[in-house]
């Protein structure tokens, strides 16, 4: 039992924090929100030069070969600062390739991803808004030496700049929705793909992607046909944990900002932080953050070590969903009027907390998974 970060992890944390603070100040965060595309090629290039896209990619595919736990440190700092762009979406989609890709596919995709030459998005959700296998209705029908995809995906993060979409689709109907799903690596420039950015609360470029007779060659089938759900479920679990790490960083930023404000804002001849009512609220917020943090750390430790983590990951996602919303909400309220202004940074986090809440599963969805894991009969 040793819950400290290693020296290497501390160093990684500091270097990521310093880089992001310098290269992506809040002005840039806002610029990317307002920007139609939401991606800065210059920033992307700089990150690629540091090798960040290859953080979790094995060394034999030109990555850094770091563990999920190491990655967690980076993700937390990104969440603390807020880092717009396709970094996280690419990381998440890459999990699927690392798990299910053939040697040929890994050789083709992973080094390019590690070098920052490819951006990807996981297209897990559809317009029906359902989490879980039942939500997958996009049809993939064999044609010639490949497949044809028809249907739509929704809330696909940064699909507007992605080179490839990792796309679960239904290749066989079954009474069990978890059977008959296949995963496709779809070239985002394929004819028949219509991608539109949906305006959302965090302006994080979640896209509607429509598929009209989109042809996908057979060699872009990822993993075994009809048996893709396990890989998608594992990918979504890792994605949820990555998002948890990001959210923890965001919560820390809210707490730091709010405590600083409480010490400097003078009303009634004293800092407002002297008033017990709000002292207790910020203590509650800290407790929410810290319990979410250590639950997430445990789940990521399990994931990083290759141990079963479904229950803990779902517990963490449900917990973090609620905690980030709570902390960011009170962050605004403790700032008073200024907290509601677009100009102030605190609401950036509140809006991101809502986006994080629904990404890869809301609290109720994950609590249902937990209910199953703790043994309640279905």
Partner 1 sequence: MDFSFTEEQKKRRQEYYKVCAQLEKDKPHGFSGLESTYDTEAGFKYHLHCAREFAGRGWLSLAWPAEYGGTGNMMDRVLFAEARGYHDIPGVDIFGVQMLAPTLLACASEEIKGEFLPMIATGEVQFCELWSEPNAGSDLADLTSTAIRQGDDFIVNGQKIWTTGAHFAHWGFGVFKTAPQGKKHHNMSFILFDMKKPGVTIRPIKYMNDFHIYNEVFFDNLRVPAKIVGQENEGWAVVNVLAGFERSGIDEIMRMQKEMENAVKYCNETKVDGVPLAKDPLVRNRLAQIAGEIEAARCLAYRVADLQNRNEMTLMDASAVKVFTSDVAERFASLMTDILGPYGQVKFSRWAPMEGWWERMYQEHFVLSISMGTNEIQKNIMAWYGLGLPRMR
Asked if 120 contacts 90 with a C-beta cutoff of 8 angstroms, the reply is yes
Neighbours of 2 (CB within 10 A): 5
CB of 317 to partner 1, least distance (A): 9
Write the interaction track for partner 1 spanning residues 338-367; mark x where CB under 8 A is met and - where it is not.
Answer: -------------------------xx--x
Which single residue is written with the structure tokens 């677009």? 342
Q: Is 283 in the site for partner 1 (CB under 8 A)?
A: yes
Interacting residues with partner 1 between 4 and 63 (CB under 8 A): 4-6, 9
Q: Considering beta carbons, is residue 70 or 157 the nearer one to partner 1? A: 70
Angstrom distance (rounded) from CA 212 to CA 228: 22
Neighbours of 310 (CB within 10 A): 17
CB of 377 to partner 1, least distance (A): 5
Choices 131-139, 153-161, 272-280, 332-340; region in contact with partner 1 by CB under 8 A: 272-280
Q: Any bridge partners for residue 121, and if so which? A: 165
Tell me, rounded to whole angstroms, the distance of Cα 88 from its chain centroid: 6
Angstrom distance (rounded) from CA 262 to CA 306: 43
Choices 26-34, 75-83, 205-213, 283-291; region in contact with partner 1 by CB under 8 A: 283-291
Asked if 112 contacts 77 with a C-beta cutoff of 8 angstroms, the reply is no
Candidate residues 111, 135, 271, 362; the one interacting with partner 1 per rule CB under 8 A: 271
Q: Considering beta carbons, is residue 124 or 312 the nearer one to partner 1? A: 312
Q: Is 298 in the site for partner 1 (CB under 8 A)?
A: yes
Q: Is 319 in the site for partner 1 (CB under 8 A)?
A: yes
CB of 376 to partner 1, least distance (A): 4
Tell me, rounded to whole angstroms, the distance of Cα 326 from its chain centroid: 19
Q: Considering beta carbons, is residue 7 or 103 the nearer one to partner 1? A: 7
Asked if 90 contacts 112 with a C-beta cutoff of 8 angstroms, the reply is no
Choices 121-129, 144-152, 212-220, 280-288; region in contact with partner 1 by CB under 8 A: 280-288
Q: Considering beta carbons, is residue 24 or 316 the nearer one to partner 1? A: 316
Structure tokens belonging to residue 47: 């990150």
Neighbours of 41 (CB within 10 A): 11
Candidate residues 312, 327, 335, 353; the one interacting with partner 1 per rule CB under 8 A: 312
- Using alpha carbons, list the distances in angstroms from residue 303 to 65, 125, 228, 296, 298: 15, 23, 20, 10, 9
Label residues 276-288 b or e (16+ Cβ within 10 Å = b). eebeebbeebbeb
Candidate residues 66, 209, 282, 332; the one interacting with partner 1 per rule CB under 8 A: 282
Angstrom distance (rounded) from CA 82 to CA 350: 12
CB of 261 to partner 1, least distance (A): 11
CB of 279 to partner 1, least distance (A): 4
Q: Is 276 in the site for partner 1 (CB under 8 A)?
A: yes
Angstrom distance (rounded) from CA 99 to CA 103: 11
Q: Considering beta carbons, is residue 49 or 371 the nearer one to partner 1? A: 371
- Would strands 181-187 and 139-143 be described as parallel, antiparallel, or unpaired? unpaired
Write the interaction track for partner 1 spanning residues 88-127; mark x where CB under 8 A is met and - where it is not.
Answer: ----------------------------------------
Structure tokens belonging to residue 111: 């080094």
Q: Residues touching partner 1: how many (CB under 8 A)?
A: 50
| Site residues for partner 1 per CB under 8 A | 1-6, 9, 69, 259, 262-263, 270-271, 273-276, 279-280, 282-284, 286-287, 290-292, 294-295, 297-298, 301-302, 312, 314-316, 318-319, 363-364, 367-368, 370-371, 374-378
């Amino acid at each position: 039992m040793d819950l400290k970060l290693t020296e290497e992890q501390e160093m990684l944390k500091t270097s990521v924090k310093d880089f992001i603070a310098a290269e992506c100040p809040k002005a840039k965060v806002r610029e990317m929100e307002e920007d139609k595309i939401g991606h800065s090629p210059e920033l992307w290039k700089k990150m690629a030069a540091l090798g960040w896209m290859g953080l979790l990619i094995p060394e034999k595919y030109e990555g850094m070969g770091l563990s999920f736990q190491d990655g967690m440190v980076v993700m937390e700092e990104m969440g603390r600062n807020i880092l717009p762009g396709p970094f996280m979406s690419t990381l998440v989609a890459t999990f699927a390739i690392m798990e299910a890709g053939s040697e040929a596919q890994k050789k083709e995709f992973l080094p390019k991803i590690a070098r920052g030459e490819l951006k990807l998005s996981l297209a897990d959700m559809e317009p029906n808004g359902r989490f879980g296998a039942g939500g997958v209705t996009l049809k993939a029908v064999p044609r010639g030496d490949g497949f044809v995809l028809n249907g739509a995906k929704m809330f696909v993060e940064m699909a507007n700049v992605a080179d490839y979409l990792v796309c679960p689709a239904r290749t066989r109907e079954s009474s069990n929705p978890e059977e008959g799903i296949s995963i496709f690596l779809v070239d985002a420039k394929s004819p028949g793909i219509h991608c539109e950015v949906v305006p959302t609360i965090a302006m994080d470029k979640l896209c509607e992607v429509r598929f009209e007779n989109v042809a996908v060659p057979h060699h872009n089938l990822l993993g075994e046909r009809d048996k893709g759900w396990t890989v998608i479920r594992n990918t979504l679990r890792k994605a949820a944990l990555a998002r948890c790490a990001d959210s923890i960083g965001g919560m820390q930023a809210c707490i730091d900002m709010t405590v600083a404000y409480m010490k400097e804002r003078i009303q009634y001849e004293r800092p407002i932080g002297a008033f017990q009512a709000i002292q207790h609220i910020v203590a509650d917020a800290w407790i929410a953050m810290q319990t979410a943090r250590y639950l997430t750390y445990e789940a990521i430790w399990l994931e990083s070590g290759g141990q079963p983590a479904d229950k803990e990951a779902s517990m963490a996602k449900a917990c973090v969903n609620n905690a980030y919303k709570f902390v960011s909400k009170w962050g605004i309220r403790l700032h008073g009027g200024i907290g509601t202004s677009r100009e102030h940074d605190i609401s950036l986090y509140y809006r991101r907390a809502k986006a994080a809440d629904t990404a890869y599963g809301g609290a109720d969805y994950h609590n249902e998974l937990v209910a199953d894991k703790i043994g309640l009969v279905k």
